Amino acid sequence: MRRFIVAVTLFAVVGLLLTTEAFAQVGTPPPEPRPAAPAAPAPKVTLQSMPEWYGSQLIGMDVKNPQGQELGEVAELVLDPQDGKLKSVVISTGGVLGIGAKRVAVPWDQVKPAADEQALIVGMTQEELQQAPSWERAAEKAAPAMPPATPPPGAPGR
C-alpha cells in the first residue's frame, strides 16, 4: 500500500509540474520582426521644380555670392503694395546669432537660386553688403524715438 501511495503522489507531483508549464505558455511566441525593406529616397524638391515658392521656405535660407562665400540669410521678403509682387529680399548679414547683424535690402531681380538650390545667390561681396545702407521697416522709420523713461516723482533714488 505504501508503494501505491508513493507512486500516486509521484504521478500527482509530476502531473502538476507538467500542467503548470503548459499553462505558462499561453500561445506561440510572436514571430521575429523582419527588417523593413529600405525605402526609396524621396525625390529632392528644388526651387526650380516647385510650381510656386513660399515665403516660409525662403526666409532663413542661406545667401551666398557667385563664388560660394556665405553672405548671410534671408530675414524678410518685401512686397510692393501696389501690385503685390516681391520687391526685395532683406538679407541679415554679420553678427553672431542675429545680434549685431545688419539688414540690407537687395532687389528681387538681383537674386537667383544656387545650382544646388539650397541657397540664394546675390552678385555682391561681403564688403559691398556691409557698405550698403541698412534696411528698416517703414513703420520703424516713421516711429519717433522713445525718450528714456523717467521715474515718477517721489520714487526712490530721486
Looking at residue 86, which CATH number applies to its domain? 2.30.30.240
pLDDT attached to residue 62: 92
- Is residue 36 in a domain? no
Domain that holds residue 130: 55-138
Q: What is the pTM of this model?
A: 0.57
pLDDT (tens digit, 9 = 90+) per residue, 90-123? Answer: 999 887 766 778 899 999 999 998 887 789 999 9
- Is residue 72 in a domain? yes
- Residue 150, pLDDT > 60, answer yes
d(CA 87, CA 100): 25
Facing residues of 113 across strands? 120
d(CA 92, CA 89): 10
DSSP codes of every residue in 60-106: T-EEE-TT--EEEEEEEEEE-TTT--EEEEEEEESSBTTBT-EEEEE
Q: State the total domains in the chain.
A: 1
- Is residue 5 in a domain? no
